[in-house]
Structure 1
Amino acid sequence: MTSVTKGFDCATPLNASLAAAFKEQGFDFVCRYLVPQGWKRLTREEAEAISEAGLSLVSVYETTADRALGGREAGLRDGVIAARTAQAIGQPEGSAIYFAVDFDATAAQMPTIIEYIRAAGEASPAYVTGVYGSSAVIEAVRAAGACSRFWQTYAWSRGHKADGIHLYQHRNDIQVNGIGIDLDESYGDEGWWSTLNYRLKAEDVNEIIERFLAHEFGKASGADKLRRNELANELRRASGQPLHMYVPEHTE
């Protein structure tokens, strides 16, 4: 069963207290703008505050909503800028950068969008390339093999949810903790990151979980199962892995 993790995206920069408030409310990740300038940009200081609060980061590159219509030339330029910006704020190599297609793209525009995404990835080889957009954009870009990470918005998707997505934006324009946010959920392998240095190897963590925390999990009480899952998630977080959600069973 695929685990679902709760997150959000926003244009407003987060300080330490805001990041902590979202974490306390059950959010596990935030998507922020990886751009070199402007009021909504993610800075190194903000990335560190978000990471210290226990939230993971997802990077999205967007200057204008229809930037992808610039095609290959724009993609090459943006890929270089995105990679340089990521390095400057401490985003580790191997994590993902999502390039936004933030409008209702038509079928006729898809070839240009595909060339933009492919070129952006070519120009930022140290990072995994993703795309944000409608279900039609996700399916076209994936079919072309232009990138490997997919963040779908419900907007312009006309009720359709694409298969194989890593992130899903399912509600827009709500107020939480005094700022405007959109709600997202993730399904694993989304390429999020943190400024904290991971000292634990994923394979070691998974062996610890399997040997000690998952041992006789089915025989444990409800409270013990919940606690074991919490401990396992702390280990997963320390090794940069997606968290697993445990839903307690209700008995009559």
Structure 2
Amino acid sequence: MVRLTRRSLLAQGAALAALPRPAFSMLGQTNAHIIDMGNAAYFDRDRARPDLDATDGCTRDNHDFYETLARSGVDTVIRYYSDQNNANLNCKNVTRRERDMLHDHGLSLAIVYQFEGRKKNRFTGDRGSRDAQFCLERARVIGQPEGSTLYFGVDSDAQLNTDQGVLDYFRAVNRVLGNRFDIGIYAAGARCRLIQNAGLASRFWVPEAPAWAGTHAYLNSGDWHLFQNKTNINLNSVTDGHGQPIHIDTNIVNPDQTTTIGAFNRDGSIRTYDRQRLTAIADARYWVNGDKATVHRSPGDPEVAHICVARTVHVTGIYGEWAEVDIDEDGLPEGYTRLDGLTPLRQMPKWRRSSCKLMDI
């Protein structure tokens, strides 16, 4: 992963001065402001003790990290309800303590239920009833307000579970929750479309999995609400340097569909976003439309990084035939790539197998 230094920033500034006047420059105004985290940021997470309850070994708050989130423009964190913690995510289940901590830093909270999402034949009517009851209890414990959104993760491609099983699951979820919570789905495009057509959810969140069934068509339809555009970020200026490994994903709202994802504030009100800001954020995200887009510290320099087909970059400026790009979603550009290798967010290219390997970010 390319890291920016004062020297490299000065070099980029010199290269910038030699290029044509930018068509736009949006650095600092178009950063992703919604993240999801599989684990809370605690200093005393005990990875060796997955049997511990979420409140044990998850008590020393990493306030520095949450302050960094707020300063970087993040205003919403999506966290998890999960049947149990595990060796890698032993603070996965959000607690009331964490809710208060997030609100103390001005961050709203959204909730997704996810457990064994990639288990074959997991999604059935019976399991939907049990999961919804579990979520009701977790909502009571943390004080999730009625009217906010509960997303349910179908975190697998289509072949692991039947359409009928997924339909039965969401019918059961609707029966148990009634009208108490807004229901959302986190799933491949084909599953979002299935549940949308059946009228069983009102919010549709698509993972960063461009090869999954129906995702290309669904994103290009414009019917989605939230897109998880970058996953497993752990080396950028937001996540790095906080005394522990922290991993985040970033998400983009579809401004043509909504101004809220159903997150809630301390007082129980639903967080809404400025549509103009959402549009600017979406307009600054581009797809790689070739097998690989190479990134150069300055135009014409050797490659310092790359992005694979059907993955997004944050374009922070356009200079003639070159786009200045932020590839790890911290708002700081890593370099330049050819503009003709990119297409706007509303025009997702089809994913295809290639020799391009995803980089750690």
TM-score if structure 1 supplies the norm length? 0.73
- Separation in 1, partners of 2:228, 2:275: 19
Instruction: Show structure 2 runs of 5+ residues with no match.
Output: 1-29, 42-60, 241-245, 281-316, 318-361
Match of 1:191 in 2: 262
Q: What's the C-alpha RMSD, in Å, of the aligned pairs?
A: 2.6
1:7 to 31, 34, 44: 34
Kindly provide the CA deviation profile for residues 165-223 of structure 1, in whole angstroms up to 9, marking residues without a partner as x: 2211011111142411111122423211123355xxxxxxxxxxxxxxxxxxxxxxxxx
- Separation in 1, partners of 2:265, 2:250: 20
Match of 1:110 in 2: 163
The reply on whether 1:55 has 2:107 as its aligned counterpart is: yes
Q: Once structures 1 and 2 are overlaid, which stretch shifts more, 188-197 or 97-106? A: 188-197
- Separation in 2, partners of 1:63, 1:70: 11
Residues 77, 197 of structure 1: CA spacing in aligned structure 2 closer, same or farther, 3 A cutoff? closer
2:271 to 235, 240, 247: 240
The reply on whether 1:65 has 2:117 as its aligned counterpart is: yes
Kindly provide the CA deviation profile for residues 74-119 of structure 1, in whole angstroms up to 9, marking residues without a partner as x: 0011101101101210110110100000011139711211211221
Give 3-state SS (helix, strand or coil) of 2:224's partner: coil
Deviation at 1:140, TM superposition (A): 0.9
**Within-5 A mapping of 1:86-125:** 86-106=139-159, 109-125=162-178
Q: Once structures 1 and 2 are overlaid, which stretch shifts more, 79-88 or 148-157? A: 148-157
Q: Once structures 1 and 2 are overlaid, which stretch shifts more, 43-52 or 186-195? A: 186-195
Match of 1:220 in 2: none
Q: Is the 8 A contact 1:167 1:185 kept in 2?
A: yes
- Separation in 2, partners of 1:132, 1:118: 16
Residues 154, 81 of structure 1: CA spacing in aligned structure 2 closer, same or farther, 3 A cutoff? same
**Within-5 A mapping of 1:210-225:** none
Residue type at the aligned position of 1:177: T
**Within-5 A mapping of 1:159-198:** 159-160=216-217, 161=219, 162-175=221-234, 176-178=238-240, 179-187=246-254, 188-198=259-269
Q: Once structures 1 and 2 are overlaid, which stretch shifts more, 41-50 or 120-129? A: 120-129
Number of matched pairs: 206
Match of 1:216 in 2: none
Q: Is the 8 A contact 1:97 1:130 kept in 2?
A: yes
**Within-5 A mapping of 1:19-38:** 19-35=66-82, 37-38=84-85
Instruction: Show structure 1 runs of 5+ residues with no match.
Output: 199-238
Q: Is the 8 A contact 1:69 1:109 kept in 2?
A: no
Q: Is the 8 A contact 1:154 1:171 kept in 2?
A: yes
- Separation in 2, partners of 1:186, 1:58: 13
Match of 1:44 in 2: 96
Q: Is the 8 A contact 1:52 1:196 kept in 2?
A: no
The reply on whether 1:153 has 2:226 as its aligned counterpart is: no
Higher helix share: 1
Match of 2:331 in 1: none
- Separation in 1, partners of 2:112, 2:194: 19
Kindly provide the CA deviation profile for residues 129-153 of structure 1, in whole angstroms up to 9, marking residues without a partner as x: 1110111111111011111111111
Match of 1:213 in 2: none
- Separation in 2, partners of 1:242, 1:146: 25
Deviation at 1:23, TM superposition (A): 1.4
Residues 138, 4 of structure 1: CA spacing in aligned structure 2 closer, same or farther, 3 A cutoff? farther
Give 3-state SS (helix, strand or coil) of 2:250's partner: strand
Q: Is the 8 A contact 1:5 1:245 kept in 2?
A: no
Residue type at the aligned position of 1:240: R
Deviation at 1:244, TM superposition (A): 3.9
Residues 135, 197 of structure 1: CA spacing in aligned structure 2 closer, same or farther, 3 A cutoff? closer
Residue type at the aligned position of 1:172: T
Deviation at 1:70, TM superposition (A): 3.2
Residue type at the aligned position of 1:151: W
